[in-house]
Chains A and B, each alone.
Chain A
């Protein structure tokens, strides 16, 4: 459980810190640090085990049927990354406290950072590939929030969007790649996948899977040609850059390469794709970095370059190269995080990041300068600093790999060329910023930052030095377990030392150092050349062209289909449904009529059936007279309820009956605000002109034909189904209803027990619909008609005494019935849905008979809490079964015998049904009462209220009842 908890802690901590930040900046920082520490403590046992070479795997059943487990894994590689994520994360939390100005919300930054931390931990600790992908996408999302932290700035928003688009698209490719791997291996478990490398490489799907996975990794790790999002992500606050672009976000891509190394590497495809991309990225990043005037821009391109280096190492594919790759991951994380922090300090103190203006800071902040210089030296690969060691291993590997290639000399040459530029841009970072004359026109006078702001940098720089001078004593054990986990096999001979003799790699280092210095000294003409060609080729422009093109195409395609006319849309949908269903039906060779014996028709059924058909047709033909049509539709609904009774569905009949009542009441209330008659469509409207009449006429014909075809199709389909014998899974439900669900009403047991999860979803939908309606009705002001369609005033006798009295008398009885229906629901027709509707109708009756004012005084105006309580009860019932170690919504039941009441069939499902009941009551009342309130609100009262208040009910109050009594005066 520890791994799961460690991943969850930052997510929960994010909300906690956001809340705690109300108590001040310090509280936010302490809490955020505490969360990171807690996650580290939770991981501690697994970390120590991982250090001893053991792999910890934890598994929780998630969707066992789909082969999905919530599975976590901590081995050497996970250990290394978890340590970096939490360690550098902790330093960044401390650093951000000083970096961020007091106007910016520290709590929000920490909350995002912790979200990101949790997502990243999830990526590196996942055992299941699909689960890994979920966390992978979470890193994209949370990094979006982080990059767009200064959300008022255009650049931040654009950069965040760019990063999200690129990495999100890569995530989709990765998902496809994982699915292919899952297809090949038959499992998404990493342990299985890593052990089936040979099977994967031999599979014909290997190449597509490889390309898709690499797309995911390359977009995340900003590899060429997807590198361009990273420089734009520099719009983020510097602590974010230090975290995301040194140790975490961009490292997720190379993490994936390392993780899947045993499964995917070892083929020419891998070598060329991964190695080639890495090399191209290495060169491009190194060259561009030199010419960036923005401090963070330089670091961004240098990051791209170093990520390319790591990728190239994995691409070379030998075990030793993989060891070097892991080593460089560690080194880059330390010196680059330190450099970003130093750049942040400089930015913080100078108010700008432009290296053409920042000069000669040595005098102002010598301490920071030393730290930055050490980190930059590590970045350049100067001996005695950690970057030198892994870079020399890289050079050696390049020489080795060149031996395998024809004309392979270009490989060491290209690598050395990149090394020259790396030295040059590192030198520029040092010389331009700390020396090179005096600062030019800085917004602030720089001085040393607060003491504790430098501490994270000092720690990182100390690591750079220690690793650089004493590699075997410091980093070797960690590197050994991490590389061992990458290779999933024995570790190759490697020797972490400063001096390896006069090897070719050493000469390459010397050339890089000397060449870099010379290059920097002769930089002026190069910069002029760069200025001339800058902006000619910007990957982002290509990207934006592509994006705009896609959007424009989407707009055009949408506009071609959607002309803004619902009628046209609906016609298109019906026609395409008919075409599709028609081709399906006509293409089928099976006979229309199946062998099932037909039921005989009796007289009553015949009459009811014909009545249903007649009423439906009448409602359609008379639809322009809306009140009549509505009445007929109500009759159709009642006849449908009769159908349910006839064919052994008492629960459905009860539901249909009560829903019908509510629907008709609702539609009547709504009709009050709408014209009583539909204007003829054949009347030419303004736009259509004189030809409109003919067009509308032909539309009637067209719709009529569509309707007949659709009706005939549905009838034939129903006929084909009804005449075939049923092949059903009902047997299981019937057999297990009593033993498994403790109820004899199988329909209810299915609803609240077997398929309780579905029902939970459905009541949620109901609740959402009710809330949506509540929002729609808010501040709704409709002109309320003072007369009916024929110009007559509404009935003055608004609440007839007899009706009001009886409605009040009936209320307790109706409620009693609903309780009865509810309680018996598990065993006999009834249950939460039906009982809820009955209760709602009983209460609505009070509104209708007694008016809004009277009823409002006695009932709560808002039923939102009922809905919320209902959902909560349903959810809690489901969760309660977890407490007993059973799956969600497993029910328990018993039959206690109570005094007076006798045996009470009591199942935990009944609590769930209570939730259903409350949601149904709450939603139905919310809908109807608010529409009733709209009546009240809309009604403009012509008479001064004071005259009416005492003896007459107000006009607003009468409208609810009045709307329903339109019929009495309506001659139709």
Chain B
């Protein structure tokens, strides 16, 4: 199971990095989204993997680490805010500059 998660994190990171390095805004935003999945999964996995042990107190149960979960929960929401901000920036740049190149130059659309 650990292999699978490590593989998933690796793929998400690699693909995220590749997309972030693209020259047009929309793929970059998608890349950032993938990267934030990767980071969230990685942070989450620092609490190690546990099946069927949610950190909700009940009699006699064992629990997984709640702290990374709390961190990731807010990270997901902030990640959304960041994605939203970047995509709006991209729209604004498109409106002001007439293209969707990340540096605002290149072929007019």
Contact = CB atoms under 8 A, between A and B. Distances in A.
Interface stretch (A229-237, A378-386, A629-637): A629-637
Contacts of A681: 22-23
A644 B44 contact: yes
Contact of A571 (B21, B24, B25): B21
A723 interface: yes
A721 interface: yes
Interface stretch (A477-485, A509-517, A598-606): A598-606
- Interface centre among A601, A678, A746, A920, by most chain B C-beta atoms within 10 angstroms, is A746
Interface stretch (A177-185, A358-366, A662-670, A851-859): A662-670
A574 B17 contact: yes
Interface stretch (A115-123, A394-402, A755-763): A755-763
A773 interface: yes
Contacts of B67: 728-730, 733, 750
Which of A648, A687, A706, A765 is most buried by chain B, counting CB atoms within 10 A of its CB?
A: A648
A659 B76 contact: yes
A626 B27 CA distance: 8
B6 A706 contact: no
B11 A617 contact: yes
A744 B48 contact: no
Nearest to B25: A674
Contacts of A738: 57
A549 interface: no
Q: Which size bracket describes the interface of A in this complex?
A: 35 or more
Contacts of B57: 734, 737-738, 744-746
B72 A726 contact: no
A609 B12 CA distance: 12
A759 to B, nearest CB: 6
Interface residues of B, number: 86
A782 B87 CA distance: 14
Given A734-B57, A765-B78, A769-B85, A833 B73 contact: yes
A523 to B, nearest CB: 64
A722 B45 contact: yes
A713 B102 CA distance: 27
Given A637-B37, A712-B10, A722 B5 contact: yes
B84 A640 contact: no
A714 B3 contact: no
B30 A630 contact: yes
B7 to A, nearest CB: 6
Interface string B39-51: 0111011111111
Interface string A704-719: 1011101111111111
Interface string A630-660: 1001001100100110111111100110010
A312 to B, nearest CB: 57
B20 to A, nearest CB: 6
Contacts of A931: 88, 91
Interface string B51-62: 111111110000
Contact of B84 (A643, A686, A721, A927): A927
Nearest to B87: A670
Contact of B1 (A598, A714, A777): A598
B91 A651 contact: no
Which of A596, A600, A629, A644 has most chain B Cβ within 10 Å? A644
B34 to A, nearest CB: 6
A612 B8 contact: yes
Contacts of A633: 30, 33-34
B6 A716 contact: yes
A421 B87 CA distance: 68
B65 A711 contact: no
Contacts of B24: 678-679
A666 B83 contact: yes
A885 B42 CA distance: 40
A727 B14 CA distance: 28
Contacts of B74: 751, 758-759, 762, 833
Contact of A780 (B41, B79, B91): B91
A598 B8 CA distance: 16
Contact of B20 (A570, A678, A713, A745): A570
Contacts of B91: 670, 673-674, 776-777, 780, 782, 931, 934
Contacts of A707: 14-15, 17-18, 21
B13 to A, nearest CB: 4
A744 B77 contact: no
Nearest to B75: A762
Given A599-B1, A636-B37, A755-B70, A746 B88 contact: no
Given A629-B27, A666-B84, 19 more contacts: A599-B1, A612-B8, A612-B11, A613-B11, A616-B12, A640-B37, A674-B100, A675-B109, A681-B22, A683-B107, A715-B9, A715-B10, A730-B55, A737-B66, A746-B57, A750-B67, A769-B81, A773-B85, A833-B74
25 contacts: A571-B21, A606-B4, A616-B34, A617-B15, A619-B15, A640-B40, A647-B49, A652-B76, A656-B40, A667-B83, A674-B91, A708-B14, A711-B15, A714-B9, A722-B6, A723-B2, A730-B65, A737-B57, A745-B56, A746-B57, A751-B70, A776-B91, A776-B92, A827-B56, A931-B88
Interface of B: 1-15, 17-30, 33-34, 37-38, 40-42, 44-58, 63-67, 69-70, 72-74, 76-85, 87-92, 94-95, 100, 102-103, 105-107, 109
